[in-house]
Amino acid sequence: MSRNAGSDVKAAYLFIAPAVIGFGVFVGYPLIRSFYLALTKYNGLTDPVFVGLGNFRRLFTTDPAFWPALRATGYLVLLYVPLSLVLGLALAMFCNQRFAGVRVVRTLAYLPVVLPAVATITLWKFMLDPQVGLLNTILDRLGLPTSLWLQSPKMAMPSVVLVMLWGVGGTMIIFLAALQSVPTELYEAAKVDGAGPWSMFFRITMPMISPIMLLQVILQTTAALQTFNQPKILTNGGPGFSTNVLMLSIYNNGFPTLGRIPQLGYASAQVWVLFVIIIAVIALTAKFSSLWTYSDNN
Amino acid sequence: MTTTEASLPAVSEVARPAKKRPRAIGTTAWYVVALFICAVMVVPLLWMITIGLKDKTAVFDIPPRLLPHEFHWSNFIKGPQAIHFPRLFLNSVVITALSVLGGVMTAMMAGYALARLRFPGRKVWFYLFVGSMLLPGVVGLIPLFQMYKSIGWYDTWLPLIVPAFLGGNPLFIFLARQYFLAIPYSIDEAAKIDGAGHLRIFVSVMLPLTRPAWLTMAILAFQASWNDYLNPLVYLYSSGKWPLSVGMASFISPFAGKTPDWSYYMATNLLYMLPPLIIFFAAQRYFIQGLGALGSTNQK
């Protein structure tokens, strides 16, 4: 028995070794290193110069682009996350019914999620073209008002969110799995008691899926805070600074684009601002979750 | 995973209230909504194919024509030629194949150790791996870029491949562990009595038993790598080494304000989408199952 246990330990460390090394190199090291870099002035060529909180001071006081970047990021999150959760849940409830063709609807709703982001985003860039795009053509034929979409400072961010929402099937599929794990007897009992669809939704469905809702709020918000592909490809931050989200700002500051000298320390400071926001969102969501999530302690 | 399968019949039970709606109006409204959802998802893709078949200049007709005037099948040849498609396609295939192999293999190994072997620190490692799922990827962006640069990996494929061989995806480790926990321990006892070591048990007993788990992971890993844009954009400078994602994005943002050839682009875009599309329709079950496991984990 003891000999057996000994070989277990050796084997276990051999099996787990790649993941442990990976954890150190790709999680531990960057975490420490990026914190250090955030406190330095560093262009990637000469040695980093320690500047303390100088980068943060510059961010919050003198950088004209930082507050707009924060505002754009916040706007994106506030617009995208609630819409994605509501639409995703509605779609999941729709697809959780039994009717002929439900599998087709489910499959097609999930289809955009599996397609490469670059492919779908560029497709939408063309769809949103004010003159030759399909969206304005359809709106025009229906007699509805058209828009400049990505070219208008007001509509640019809503358009970016619209493109992101095309992938709502990802949210749907997780809600669908949650809905399917709600015990049917609950609905049957409620029906016997004469409950209508709305009270069944608020008293059975919502409480039962609330842990998944919590997970979704956290996952969607942290993902939305790190949105890069859509603003990069659709607008590259424009028009003006209207879609210049934090990730785009980090990318532009940190990597050699168009012959600019990278400011790695400065970009790392922005990374840490974003990181702190993400941690705060997770902590707050988790802290207040007891107010609205139902937990079954059995 | 078993939870999802077991609860599948429940779907039909839940469905009954809906069937009680007033027949004619209810059903019609239901199908109008269903059709609308399908249209929103499919019309952009059909539009893409239409553009891909149009003449270069017909793309700019105002108002746009819904169907091509004449079919320019040659776009499917000329478009790909414009970005050296075969080269980029091959790059994507190699990068993706290696990162799928590495990601699945190391996650399965870690999952096996965490679920079935007793060793000090196994809980700690499990929580560290799971916790790192919440760590935003952006934190690693700059230090890792610097690290790769200093060891000469900048402008090579190594930053896109090597992390996968080091347990790159903590979600996979989590999924693998969940799956391994569900397998009865008497199976390895029996194998041990027959004189099999851990490597033998892992390869010839566990891998066949966990086929759905690693197939799911392989599909998700394929998708993640084939679709990845930010990492190759950051790490690859030479256009000859780009995967399709970066090549496609550069297709429509040419220098000197030249208008992109949208008909060429859309034809090529369809070719770029084809592999994930084919895999999706061939293996739908695994897509749903893999995420279903994520959906039901908090319910246990």
C-alpha to C-alpha distance for A93 and B254, rounded to whole angstroms: 44
B33: nearest CA partner in chain A: A94
Q: Does B121 touch chain A (CB under 8 A)?
A: no
Burial B197-223 (b: 16+ CB within 10 A, else e): ebeebbeebbeeebebbbbbbbbbbbb
C-alpha to C-alpha distance for B276 and B223, rounded to whole angstroms: 7
pLDDT in 10s for each residue of chain B, 300 residues? 333 333 333 333 444 444 444 556 678 888 999 999 999 999 999 989 988 888 877 777 776 777 777 788 888 888 888 888 999 999 999 999 999 999 999 999 999 999 998 889 889 999 999 888 888 888 888 999 999 999 999 999 999 999 999 988 898 999 899 889 988 888 888 888 888 888 899 998 999 998 888 998 999 899 999 999 999 999 998 989 999 999 998 887 755 456 678 888 899 999 999 999 999 888 887 766 655 555 444 333
* Chain A residues touching B146 at Cβ < 8 A: 33, 44, 264
B15: left (phi over 0), alpha (psi -120 to 50) or beta: alpha
Q: Does B146 touch chain A (CB under 8 A)?
A: yes
* Chain A residues touching B280 at Cβ < 8 A: 111, 114
What separation in angstroms does the CA of B200 have from each of A16, B84, B87, B110, B186?
16, 45, 39, 16, 16
| Residue to substitute from A31, A37, A118, interface B, most B β-carbons within 10 A | A118
Element (H, E) at B31: helix B23-53
pLDDT at A15 over 80: yes
Find the CB nearest B249 among A30, A37, A233: A233
Q: Is the link from the previous residue into B276 a cis peptide, with omega within 30 of 0?
A: no
DSSP state of A61: I
C-alpha to C-alpha distance for B88 and B244, rounded to whole angstroms: 5
How far is the alpha carbon of B165 from chain A, nearest alpha carbon, in Å? 7
C-alpha to C-alpha distance for A150 and A131, rounded to whole angstroms: 12
The whole-number pLDDT of residue B25 equals 67
Count other C-beta atoms under 10 Å from residue B227's C-beta.
24
Q: Is pTM beyond 0.80 here?
A: yes
**Phi–psi pair at A41, nearest 5 degrees:** -100, 125
Q: Token pair for residue A147?
A: 């828009």
Q: What is the arithmetic mean of pLDDT over A214-234?
A: 92
C-alpha to C-alpha distance for A220 and A187, rounded to whole angstroms: 29
Find the CB nearest A8 among B3, B119, B249: B119
Find the CB nearest A18 among B8, B45, B167: B167
C-alpha to C-alpha distance for B100 and B107, rounded to whole angstroms: 11
Is the distance from CB of A75 to CB of A157 less than 8 angstroms?
A: yes
B132: nearest CA partner in chain A: A27
Helices B23-53 and A134-141: angle between axes, nearest 10 degrees: 130
A205 exposed, middle or buried (CB, 10 Å; 0-12, 13-18, 19+)? buried
The whole-number pLDDT of residue A1 equals 41
Q: Does B144 touch chain A (CB under 8 A)?
A: yes
C-alpha to C-alpha distance for A248 and A69, rounded to whole angstroms: 9
Is the distance from CB of A108 to CB of A168 less than 8 angstroms?
A: no
- Which one, of B169, B165, B158, B171, lies nearest residue B231 by Cα? B158
| pLDDT confidence bin for A2, thresholds 50/70/90 | very low
Find the CB nearest A108 among B14, B38, B146: B38
The whole-number pLDDT of residue B23 equals 57
DSSP state of A58: I
Cross-chain Cβ contact A18/B146 below 8 Å: no
Find the CB nearest B106 among A4, A19, A271: A19
The whole-number pLDDT of residue A90 equals 95
CA angle A78, B252, B275 (to 5 degrees): 80
Question: What's the mean per-residue pLDDT of chain A?
Answer: 89
Cross-chain Cβ contact A124/B197 below 8 Å: no
Contacts 24+ apart (CB under 8 A), B276-282: B276/A114, B276/A115, B276/A116, B276/B222, B276/B223, B276/B226, B276/B227, B277/A114, B277/A115, B279/A114, B279/B219, B279/B222, B279/B223, B280/A111, B280/A114
The whole-number pLDDT of residue B19 equals 44
The whole-number pLDDT of residue B299 equals 34
The whole-number pLDDT of residue B8 equals 37
Q: Token pair for residue B33?
A: 């909504």
* Chain A residues touching B19 at Cβ < 8 A: 98
What separation in angstroms does the CA of B72 have from each of B54, B76, B79?
6, 8, 11
Q: What is the pLDDT of residues A42-61, one digit of tens each?
A: 988 888 889 989 999 999 99
* Chain B residues touching A124 at Cβ < 8 A: 44
